[in-house]
Amino acid sequence: MTAKKLSDLEELKNHLEKIHRFATAGLCISSVTHEINNYLGAIMAYAEMLQLETSPGEEIHKMLKKIIESVNHCSQLINGLNTISKQNEELVTLVEVPEIIDTVIMLRRYYLKLKSINIEKHISENLQPIVVSLPKFQLAIIHLLKNAEENLSNEDNNVHKKLIIVSAKKVKEGVTIEIQDNGPTISKDILKNIFSPFMTTKNGIYLGLGLYITKKIAEEHGGTLEYDLQKHSFIMWIPYSNPKTTPKVDKYL
C-alpha cells in the first residue's frame, strides 16, 4: 500500500471519528436537556405556588420572582443547546444586545463570584436591535464568557485581579460583542486551530466545541468571530439584519 493511500485512510479514519463524536454529543445533549427541563418545570411550578402565598411587597416574593426569571432563562439556554442536536428551522426575532449581555452575566454571576473574577461592561448607548435566533445568540455569548472564565482559572494565570471586560458597540451595519480577559495569552500553535471542533487545552469532560459552535452561530447570522491577539479578546460581529434564512442546524456537522 502506497504512502498516499495510507495517508488517505488515516484522514478518513479521523473524519469518521469526528462524525462519531458529534453523533455521541448530540445524543447526550438531547437526553440531558430533556431531563433538565423536567427538573426546571418542577422548580417553576413550586416557585409559582409559593409566590401565590406571598404579597408583592415581601422580600420572599421578590426572591421567588428572581427564581422564576432564572428558570425561564435556563430553559431558553437548554433549548438553545438542543438546537445543536436537532435539525429544524428556527424563528428569528429582534433582540436588544445589552439585555442579552445582562442576562448572561446574571446567569454566570455565581460562578464569577466563586472564581473571584471581576467583570466590567462597556456598552455603547442607543444600540439598534439585531435580528437573530435568541437561543443561539445567547448560547454564543455564554460560550465566549465561559471561555474567558476558564482562561482566568488556568493554573498558569498569575494575575492578582482577575478581570473580564464585555463590550458592545456599533461597527459598520451591525454590532460587535467583544469579550476580553487578562489571563494568559493563547500561543500561536493553538491559535491556528482555535476554532476547530474538539480543540481544547483543558483536561476532563470538555469536548472543545464551544468556540467552534460560536463561530458557526455568528456565520449563520451573516457575522464573524475573530480573535485579537494583541488585546487578547474574542470579537463577534453580527449585522443588524441578515437576508439569509436561518440555516438548519445540520450545518454544524
Does the pLDDT at position 246 exceed 50?
Answer: no
- 186 & 159 share domain: yes
What is the percent of the chain with per-residue pLDDT over 70, rounded to a whole number? 65
Contact 15, 43 (CB under 8 A): no
Alpha helices in 59-96 (DSSP H): 59-85
For the stretch 195-222, pLDDT in tens is 666 555 554 444 457 788 889 889 989 9
Cβ-count burial of 9 within 10 angstroms (0-12 exposed, 13-18 middle, 19+ buried)?
Answer: exposed
Q: How confident is the model at residue 35 (pLDDT cuts 50, 70, 90)?
A: low
Q: What's the N-to-C CA distance of the chain in angstroms?
A: 31
Give the structural domain span for 13.
3-85
Q: In the chain, at which residue ranges do the beta strands (DSSP E only) sit?
A: 93-95, 117-123, 130-132, 162-171, 174-181, 224-228, 233-239
- 17 & 106 share domain: no
Residue type, 155: E
What pLDDT score was predicted for residue 165? 95
What pLDDT score was predicted for residue 110? 78
Closest Cα partner for 132 from 211, 236, 238?
238
For the stretch 146-197, pLDDT in tens is 889 888 876 666 667 899 999 999 998 899 999 999 888 776 767 776 766 6
Last residue of a domain, one of 85, 110, 129: 85
Whole-angstrom distance, CA of residue 241 vs CA of residue 70: 29
SS3 156: coil
Last residue of a domain, one of 85, 113, 130: 85
Place of cell 483536561: 203
What pLDDT score was predicted for residue 126? 85
Name, of 21-25, 32-36, 122-126, 158-162, the range with top average pLDDT: 122-126
Last residue of a domain, one of 85, 119, 134: 85
What pLDDT score was predicted for residue 176? 95
- 179 & 130 share domain: yes
- 44 & 61 share domain: yes
What pLDDT score was predicted for residue 25? 52
- 119 & 222 share domain: yes
What is the percent of the chain with per-residue pLDDT over 90, rounded to a whole number? 21
User: In the predicted model, what is the mean pLDDT of the chain?
Assistant: 76
- 20 & 136 share domain: no
List all residues 6 or more positions away from 132 whose beta carbon is below 8 Å from its beta carbon. 92, 93, 95, 221, 238, 242
Q: Within 10 A of 49 (CB to CB), how many other CB atoms are there?
A: 10
For the stretch 74-110, pLDDT in tens is 776 666 555 554 544 456 788 899 999 998 888 888 7
| Greatest distance between any 2 Cα atoms in the chain | 79
Does the pLDDT at position 229 exceed 70?
Answer: yes
